[in-house]
Structure 1
């Protein structure tokens, strides 16, 4: 079984912090919406509000890209779309395999946003022989026995795992051994991978638990207000709990 870190160091070769990299898709989404409305330029304040960050952080993030905007004019929307897309590697086609075609895997296969963002679903793979050959989103499901050949033939470097937790590590090991170096994990488990392999974990239950925490806290604050402020105030977060640039990560990396 593969062992090692589950993500790369905090900065990349060009010196762009991971916290900035994580915000680039937010900027791109906001900029794409502006582009679709034929908006030529946007101020840092307007773009920051659309992306859900503060303008000072946005300007700092863009400085890593060498983009500083024009005083009194703002940022050129189309150029920033191109610049961020290039930085994220979205100016080329990325073949992706989805392993595990249950309800979640099928929903991912039917997601229309992949193609418009530079990702092509090259194959759908599942261990159930009953699914082999059946089309999902117009793509016939292939059996896991052919996983290594599929990855080689389609030159796949990104794998999506949507299997049950018990099968996820074995699938991960096979993906890595076949040459996949980036994995998006939807299985409710932590994967172990060697150095040089990036893993992003998506856990909906964790997100819901965090929302439940905030709901409980808001209820406590409302109760305190109803008691005339006698209840203890919520203790502020310590700086040590914050991520890069003062961010508090919603989900800890896998």
Structure 2
């Protein structure tokens, strides 16, 4: 089935399945049923089976899914089966935390270049990554063939940084600046507003 016919909700749930499968692998689980995977993701087993049906036949009826094989299949569907380079702009508190986060490498992501405008940070190495002058942003993105960008700058600077990254060839942006970024349709943007996410939790208290 063509990729364009797959519902957005389904591709979104694939990430939840992958996370659950990785946890199961860590626990030593080799085979998992659709019901067990559904329980881990707080879904119905029928939803799991329907989601997988968009991409082919997985698992063995009455037995379940081989955890290691299914991880590989989902990684392939999500284009996570090869290392993905990312560029980070903004090496403040959030930026440094992202550089130190071990989960990126575990998921196949590698922050290949980091940039800042602060002369006190430029030239320093943070968790093995050299902090470069933001003036070199476009050149380095093109040299490294980077298509994934991370924006961790102040709100006022985020639109310009995002535009420069997109102009240099970045096709997907993860922004930690709590603002809307007006980008071309060819650039996928996900914004993470930490304050708003906490507010969502407070609503349920």
Q: Fold match, TM over 0.5?
A: yes
Map 1:133-212 to 2 at 5 A: 133-212=123-202
Whichever of the two has the greater Rg, that structure is: 1
The partner residue of 1:103 within 93, 113, 136 is 93
Matched, 1:54 2:44: yes
**Equivalent position to 2:35, from 38, 42, 45:** 45
Instruction: Considering Cα pairs closer than 8 Å and 6+ residues apart, tell me whether 1 or 2 has the greater RCO.
Output: 1
Query: How large is the RMSD of aligned CA atoms in angstroms?
Result: 1.3
Q: CA deviation at 1:192?
A: 0.5
Question: Aligned partners of 2:42 and 2:147: how far apart in 1?
Answer: 31
Question: For 1:123 and 1:171, how far apart are their aligned partners in 2?
Answer: 14
Point out where structure 1 has 5 or more consecutive residues left out of the alignment. Answer: 1-11, 216-254
Counterpart in the other structure of 1:13: 3
Q: In the alignment, which residue of structure 1 is the partner of 2:18?
A: 28
Larger deviation: 79-88 or 32-41?
32-41
Secondary structure of 1:106's match? helix
Deviations 1:119-166 (A, max 9, x none): 111011111111101111121210110000110111000000010100
SS of residue in 2 equivalent to 1:25: helix
Counterpart Cα distance in 1 of 2:203 and 2:109: 35
Stretch of structure 1 that moved more, 129-138 or 161-170: 129-138
CA distance in 2, matches of 1:27, 1:208: 24
State yes or no: 1:70 paired with 2:69. Answer: no
Q: 2 CA distance for matches of 1:51 and 1:137?
A: 33
Aligned to 1:236: none
The total of aligned residue pairs comes to 204
| Post-superposition offset of 1:14 | 4.2
- Consecutive unaligned residues of structure 2, counting only runs of 5 or more, are none
Q: Distance in 1 between matches of 2:58 and 2:130?
A: 47
Residues of 1 paired with 2:140 and 2:58: CA distance?
A: 43
Supply the distance in 1 between the matched residues of 2:68 and 2:60 (Cα, whole angstroms): 14
Matched, 1:120 2:122: no
TM-score by length of 2: 0.95
- Secondary structure (helix, strand or coil) at the match of 2:174 reads strand
1:68, CA displacement in angstroms?
A: 4.3
Distance in 1 (CA, whole Å) between partners of 2:42 and 2:98 is 25
Runs of 4+ deviating beyond 3 Å: none
Output the TM-score relative to the length of structure 1: 0.77
State how far apart, in whole Å, the 1-side matches of 2:10 and 2:84 are: 22
CA distance, structure 2, for counterparts of residue 37 and residue 211 of structure 1: 29
